[in-house]
Amino acid sequence: MKISSITDSINSLSLNGNKVAPNADKSFQNMLKDAITEVNDEQVQGYNAMEGIATGKVTNLQQAVQKVEEAELSMKLALEVKNKAINAYKEIMRMQV
Protein backbone atom coordinates (compact mmCIF):
# COMPACT_ATOMS: atom_id res chain seq x y z
CA MET A 1 0.00 0.00 0.00
CA LYS A 2 1.18 3.44 -0.73
CA ILE A 3 1.50 5.62 2.35
CA SER A 4 1.30 8.78 0.27
CA SER A 5 -2.17 7.90 -0.98
CA ILE A 6 -3.37 7.47 2.61
CA THR A 7 -1.85 10.76 3.74
CA ASP A 8 -3.28 12.55 0.71
CA SER A 9 -6.73 11.28 1.66
CA ILE A 10 -6.28 12.42 5.25
CA ASN A 11 -4.93 15.83 4.23
CA SER A 12 -7.80 16.40 1.84
CA LEU A 13 -10.32 16.20 4.70
CA SER A 14 -11.30 19.55 6.13
CA LEU A 15 -13.50 20.85 8.89
CA ASN A 16 -15.10 23.38 6.54
CA GLY A 17 -18.31 22.31 4.87
CA ASN A 18 -17.22 24.06 1.67
CA LYS A 19 -14.48 21.65 0.69
CA VAL A 20 -15.28 18.13 -0.45
CA ALA A 21 -12.73 15.33 -0.27
CA PRO A 22 -11.82 13.84 -3.68
CA ASN A 23 -12.69 10.33 -2.45
CA ALA A 24 -16.06 11.39 -1.08
CA ASP A 25 -17.94 9.68 -3.93
CA LYS A 26 -16.11 6.36 -3.43
CA SER A 27 -18.00 3.71 -1.56
CA PHE A 28 -16.42 1.60 1.16
CA GLN A 29 -16.61 -1.37 -1.18
CA ASN A 30 -14.60 0.45 -3.86
CA MET A 31 -12.02 1.65 -1.35
CA LEU A 32 -11.61 -1.89 0.01
CA LYS A 33 -11.35 -3.32 -3.48
CA ASP A 34 -8.66 -0.76 -4.39
CA ALA A 35 -6.68 -1.56 -1.24
CA ILE A 36 -6.83 -5.29 -1.91
CA THR A 37 -5.78 -4.70 -5.52
CA GLU A 38 -2.79 -2.69 -4.30
CA VAL A 39 -1.75 -5.49 -1.95
CA ASN A 40 -2.14 -8.01 -4.75
CA ASP A 41 0.00 -5.90 -7.08
CA GLU A 42 2.70 -5.67 -4.40
CA GLN A 43 2.60 -9.45 -3.99
CA VAL A 44 2.94 -10.02 -7.74
CA GLN A 45 5.91 -7.64 -7.89
CA GLY A 46 7.47 -9.39 -4.90
CA TYR A 47 7.04 -12.83 -6.49
CA ASN A 48 8.51 -11.55 -9.76
CA ALA A 49 11.49 -10.13 -7.85
CA MET A 50 11.98 -13.45 -6.02
CA GLU A 51 11.87 -15.30 -9.33
CA GLY A 52 14.43 -12.89 -10.74
CA ILE A 53 16.71 -13.45 -7.76
CA ALA A 54 16.37 -17.23 -8.06
CA THR A 55 17.09 -17.28 -11.78
CA GLY A 56 19.86 -14.68 -11.63
CA LYS A 57 18.11 -12.29 -14.01
CA VAL A 58 18.13 -9.42 -11.51
CA THR A 59 20.51 -6.60 -12.30
CA ASN A 60 19.93 -4.69 -9.06
CA LEU A 61 19.70 -7.06 -6.12
CA GLN A 62 18.91 -4.29 -3.64
CA GLN A 63 15.78 -3.25 -5.55
CA ALA A 64 14.63 -6.85 -5.83
CA VAL A 65 15.02 -7.46 -2.11
CA GLN A 66 13.23 -4.17 -1.44
CA LYS A 67 10.26 -5.31 -3.59
CA VAL A 68 10.10 -8.59 -1.66
CA GLU A 69 10.14 -6.73 1.67
CA GLU A 70 7.48 -4.27 0.50
CA ALA A 71 5.26 -7.16 -0.52
CA GLU A 72 5.73 -8.82 2.86
CA LEU A 73 4.98 -5.62 4.77
CA SER A 74 1.88 -4.84 2.71
CA MET A 75 0.55 -8.34 3.36
CA LYS A 76 1.22 -8.02 7.09
CA LEU A 77 -0.59 -4.67 7.15
CA ALA A 78 -3.57 -6.12 5.28
CA LEU A 79 -3.75 -9.06 7.69
CA GLU A 80 -3.62 -6.77 10.73
CA VAL A 81 -6.40 -4.58 9.32
CA LYS A 82 -8.48 -7.72 8.69
CA ASN A 83 -7.84 -8.96 12.23
CA LYS A 84 -8.84 -5.59 13.72
CA ALA A 85 -12.03 -5.54 11.64
CA ILE A 86 -12.94 -9.07 12.75
CA ASN A 87 -12.25 -8.23 16.40
CA ALA A 88 -14.40 -5.10 16.13
CA TYR A 89 -17.22 -7.14 14.60
CA LYS A 90 -16.99 -9.73 17.36
CA GLU A 91 -17.03 -7.00 20.00
CA ILE A 92 -20.15 -5.49 18.48
CA MET A 93 -21.84 -8.90 18.37
CA ARG A 94 -21.11 -9.39 22.10
CA MET A 95 -22.91 -6.17 23.01
CA GLN A 96 -26.26 -6.57 24.63
CA VAL A 97 -29.06 -4.51 23.18
pLDDT in tens, 9-56: 555 554 445 555 555 678 889 998 999 999 999 999 999 999 999 999
Please report the sign of the dihedral spanned by the C-alpha atoms of residue 23, residue 27, residue 31, residue 33.
Answer: negative
For the chain, the distance separating the N- and C-terminal CA atoms, rounded to the nearest angstrom, is 37
Is it the case that residue 88 has pLDDT exceeding 70? yes
* Res 26: pLDDT: 83
Please report the sign of the dihedral spanned by the C-alpha atoms of residue 79, residue 50, residue 34, residue 3.
Answer: positive
Q: How far apart are the C-alpha atoms of 47 and 83, rounded to whole Å?
A: 24
